[in-house]
Chain A
């Protein structure tokens, strides 16, 4: 198969995946009892007649296949619909929230990678630090990020009074970073230790190659290719962590938008937010694969 053909095949698979996720979310949302009008009714006085009128206006009076058809044809034209609760175009709401989420995710990822790689390297050079890596690993696996987030609010805002608990991005990014760093430091450390015993490393030492070059040019790239398949885990942690932190710290990102939309049964907003998140996860997976190919000539 040609290179273009292969890339085309991969792209087609991802588009189909995205389509499947969208339809599944669409159907699941509507199968769950209660819609946006029910939520509005529970919030204020609306007569049954007004409820029926609202449903007709919002297009909720037809069955889900009909709604899917209507939404799908609009979405294909680039129109993701209008928020059922706020009347704003969904794309505007998602566009406004996206930078917050991307910024938080990028900061969290950067902190996590730096922390994970630094700890793994240090622990390889100083075996005494392995206990710290192990502890952080267990911590990041068992501690839900929202618990850490709550503790972070308590310590930094309530006790220390350093920053307003809401709206500040540094603490949530650090918490996400801690989670990701803890998850990659241990496998990376173990692979670095194994690679350090590899024959080619002995060979490099036998040629008088300096330790710095050994670590940065040989050990780290070789170990990174070994732990790159863990990227799926990192992305999952990143998505979950970002959404949780946004809600907890009141950041107006996709997570906050999504939670509000789910509680209000604001279908178009939920669909759009999940569409964007799924696309981001798929893009991250493709990027990982591309990185693997770039790093390791044997898988090209």
Chain B
């Protein structure tokens, strides 16, 4: 048959770790097949094994059959395989910034990819132009001369897609192609991929942890768990009547709760006329201008916006890490100033839990740190109490950050922030790095902590769905200015500003809506 046919793929990584245990799937030309699973389920390893891109190491064993248009790729030697990569199979990667050579201009990388796939030197310029236009980029001398770091995430991913198409492949493998992108950009890139599949008649294997996202794109969904496919079928069947506990859990995890309606309460944290600016050489860049909000005890406020909207600057200012140019931050009459005193009242949970933990310190050491810094007694007892509160097993205390799962790491960071009994907790994209099941768990934890401890919680995110799950009220930012605020449900139902509408439109459709069509697009598409 034509297209991709994988039979009983098994991958053992050095360790040995049985990463993939008997994967079988088919991607006919012109179809989109989704491979979904939690982090560590073996989906990315499968994709790399299909393209034979796993790093060669002693102990790497790949068996089974990977038939592309009837030819078994696993039986090819490296030279023959090089002819397949690019010309028959194109790959799109998760983090586009990391998938481009930082020292080469976009034009040079395009030319190289075209030359590697046998384009005649005379035709390269024209082909490059056609490719850039096909992925929705304007072919200008400026774009060709640009370095990867000068492009936005969406532009970078479009370039990566153009590079993957350079050899006119009949199969595209995409590994979390939109996970690192902003929601509105996510929707655009997904639409581009779908258009390409339709126009070129390519097969697309879409690998992701995001079930609603995949279900919106694919004609068939495979749910992977611990190296094997546990559930498969059209999205409607998998979502509607999940046969396996794993897919059932994924469907449930995708359905986030809704926070209760806002209620009136006296404000605890008051932010007024906040202005934050950074110095770049001689000129000043305004990151935040005239932002105001209030949070009551036991209330969660969502701060929503795309990258560059100034939300992380606000998080840092509230946490006392950057001094605002003007305006005030007021907590029961106290203001950030003395960092140590402010840290006892207000704590920050940073976006990337792995980056926020010292890799050479154990979990125990990370939790003892606040007691050392503030010279406080009773570390043992307080740590035990907070661990129970965040649901982290004390047996994990001896582990290093890399030995913990993503969810455990985020719980550890939250536990560390709670040790000093703060009045305010600032969470910067607390669930963005987590997959669906963990996202739901951490959100539930944050909501519970907020209610039980009477915390004033400031949650910062680009993800309206996550914010709505715990925040009764939201503030929407764009270019450093508040463009809208109000009850979360109201803002989402009837956004008054175009940017808000775009953010809401970029959300995956409700799962129930997916059941109606075999293949649906996003509402924005």
Contacts and interface: CB of A to CB of B under 8 A. Distances in A.
Given A203-B93, A203-B163, A208 B103 contact: no
A126 interface: no
Interface string A201-226: 01111111110010001100110010
Interface in B67-106: 82-87, 89-91, 93, 95, 98-104
Interface stretch (B112-120, B298-306, B450-458): B112-120
A1 B89 CA distance: 48
B98 A198 contact: yes
A191 B100 CA distance: 18
A17 B288 CA distance: 42
27 contacts: A1-B282, A199-B93, A200-B101, A200-B102, A202-B48, A202-B93, A203-B160, A205-B53, A205-B85, A206-B51, A206-B85, A206-B86, A206-B91, A207-B85, A207-B86, A207-B164, A207-B167, A208-B83, A208-B85, A209-B86, A209-B113, A217-B104, A222-B101, A225-B103, A296-B102, A296-B103, A298-B147
Contacts of B431: none
B41 to A, nearest CB: 20
Given A205-B85, A297-B103, A297-B150, 14 more contacts: A200-B102, A203-B99, A203-B163, A205-B53, A206-B164, A207-B167, A208-B83, A209-B86, A209-B113, A213-B112, A218-B101, A218-B103, A222-B102, A297-B149
Interface in B238-290: 281-282
Nearest to B150: A297
Residue from A1, A205, A217, A225 whose CB has the most chain B CB atoms within 10 Å: A205
A203 B94 CA distance: 11
A210 B81 CA distance: 11
A221 B150 CA distance: 19
Contacts of B482: none
A207 B86 CA distance: 4
Interface string A170-204: 00000000000000000000000000011110111
A295 interface: yes
A200 B95 CA distance: 10
A295 B101 CA distance: 12
Interface in B441-484: none
A92 to B, nearest CB: 46
B166 interface: yes
B15 interface: no
Contacts of B87: 208
A169 B48 CA distance: 53
B85 A295 contact: no
A295 B117 contact: no
- Chain A interface, DSSP helix/strand/loop, else mixed: helix
A208 B100 contact: no
Contacts of A203: 91, 93, 99-100, 160, 163
A221 B103 contact: yes
A202 B91 CA distance: 10
B333 interface: no
Contacts of B91: 203, 206
Interface of B: 48, 51, 53, 55, 82-87, 89-91, 93, 95, 98-104, 112-113, 116-117, 147, 149-150, 160, 163-164, 166-167, 281-282
B95 to A, nearest CB: 7
A207 B117 contact: yes
- Chain B interface, DSSP helix/strand/loop, else mixed: loop
A297 B151 CA distance: 13
Contacts of A1: 281-282
B93 A208 contact: no
Contacts of B99: 199-200, 202-203
- Size bracket, chain A contacts: 20 to 34
A206 B90 contact: yes
A172 to B, nearest CB: 35
Contact of B116 (A208, A225, A297): A208
Contacts of A210: 82, 116
Nearest to A203: B99
A204 B147 contact: no
A217 B112 contact: yes
Contact of A206 (B53, B149, B281): B53
B167 to A, nearest CB: 7
Residue from B82, B100, B103 whose CB has the most chain A CB atoms within 10 Å: B103
Contacts of A202: 48, 53, 93, 99
Contacts of A213: 112, 116
Residue from B53, B83, B84, B150 whose CB has the most chain A CB atoms within 10 Å: B53
A205 B82 CA distance: 8
A207 B83 CA distance: 9
A209 B53 contact: no
Nearest to A195: B101
A37 to B, nearest CB: 56
Interface string A287-300: 00000000111100
A127 to B, nearest CB: 10
Contacts of B147: 297-298
Given A199-B95, A203-B99, A218 B104 contact: yes
Contacts of B103: 218, 221-222, 225, 295-297
Contact of A208 (B98, B167, B281): B167
Contacts of A197: 55
Contacts of A295: 103
Nearest to B52: A205
Given A207-B167, A208-B87, A295-B103, A199 B98 contact: yes
Interface string A223-244: 0010000000000000000000
B89 A206 contact: yes
B53 A207 contact: no
A204 B102 CA distance: 12
Residue from A200, A208, A295 whose CB has the most chain B CB atoms within 10 Å: A208
Contacts of A218: 101, 103-104
Contacts of A207: 85-86, 90, 113, 116-117, 163-164, 166-167
Interface string A264-300: 0000000000000000000000000000000111100
Nearest to B51: A206
Contacts of B164: 206-207
